Structures are given as structure tokens and as C-alpha cells.
Structure 1
Amino acid sequence: MKIQVIFLLLSTIVICLATHGFCIGPITNSRCKCVKVLSRFIPPKRYQQINIFHQGSYCRKVEIVITLKNGKKVCINPEAQWVNRIISFLNKRAERSNEVITEESSTQ
């Protein structure tokens, strides 16, 4: 009798884990913002806004969405070289502007 209870318990756990795993995958992937990503270069003068969505419970990959000045949203490949260069440039520019704000506030 004891072996039957243990077997029933183990099989219930396995079924629950299997069902949970099958449900999480498609739901998680369906919440990603980007279905198709582009790797071709887009000139920065066409950008209105850049959004970076980090990996999380909603999507298992990093997503970068550029909103163009015409309002169109484009998903770009975060692993493309030109993307990394632009992001590092924007980070450096943001750091410089923060330093300027810090210096200005300390002199007042």
C-alpha cells in the first residue's frame, strides 16, 4: 500500500511539472514585443526614441525597439555591431550629461 501512495504522489508531481513547463513556454514567448528583428543599419537621425527591454519573466531575450520619427516601431537585433556602438555612444552621452548636472548643482 505504501508503494502505491508514493508512486501516485511521484506521478502527480511529474505531471504537474510537465504541464507547468508546457504552459510557461508559449505564454512567455507570446509576451515578447519583437517577432521579427532587423540587423540592417538605421541612421540615428531617423530615431525618435529607443527602448531597451531586458530579459525577464515576460520574455526570455533582450529586445530593442526603435521608434522612428514617422511613428513606425522597428525591432532591431541587439547583437548587431552597429547597435552595440550606438548604445555605448548613448550611454557615454548620458554619463557626460549627468556629470554636467552634478557639477552645476554643486556650484549653486
Structure 2
Amino acid sequence: MKREVAVAVTALMLGALAGGLATAASAADAPRGRIVADANACMGCHAVDRKLVGPSFQQIAAKYKGDAQAPVKLARKVKDGGSGVWGMIPMPAHQSMSDADIHAVVGWVLAGAPAK
């Protein structure tokens, strides 16, 4: 009986470890911009392919396609917040995000928010 319990516990532990490794591998495969967006609550208001509170990341990419100033405009919008471009619901400022993180998210969004 003890042996069966030990085998079951070992199997559960190995399964949990494998699941953790799979999650870590998935995170490692994700673009840095997506990882930063997930870590900074961007996904609470935006989704990749559908409007939530704010526009989808794909809608943003389409709107700014071909605009050479888009990276600068969007980085400023993320840092300072604002409203009026997509409606009256304001986007909060993200003053605590580093410029490197903001640029990673903006670059990922402007690329169409790819999965890889």
C-alpha cells in the first residue's frame, strides 16, 4: 500500500514538474512584447484580435500601418495615457513601465501582435 501511494505521489510530482516546464517553455517562446504586455496588465483592456475596453492590438496595427511616426506616438500614448483616438474611454498612463518595455510592447503591437 505504501509503495502504491509513493508511486502515485511521484507521478503527481512529475506531472506538475512537466506542466511547469511546459509553461516556462511557452513563455520562452512568446515574443518579448507579449510577455511585457501580460506582466503590465495590458491584456486587461486589450486583446490580440478583438476589442475589449480598448481596441485590439491587431486593430491598432492596422490603423498605424505605414505610419513612420507610429512607434513614437504609441510609446508616448502608453507612457502618458490619453483618450479620444479610439473613443472616450481613457487609457491610463503607465509611467512605471521602462522605455525598453514600452518599446517592446509597441513593436510587438505594430507587428500585428504575432504569437511567435
For normalisation by structure 2, the TM-score amounts to 0.38
- Greater RCO, CA 8 A, separation 6+: 2
Say which structure is richer in strand.
Answer: 1
Larger radius of gyration: 1
Higher helix share: 2
TM-score between both structures, scaled by the size of structure 1 = 0.40
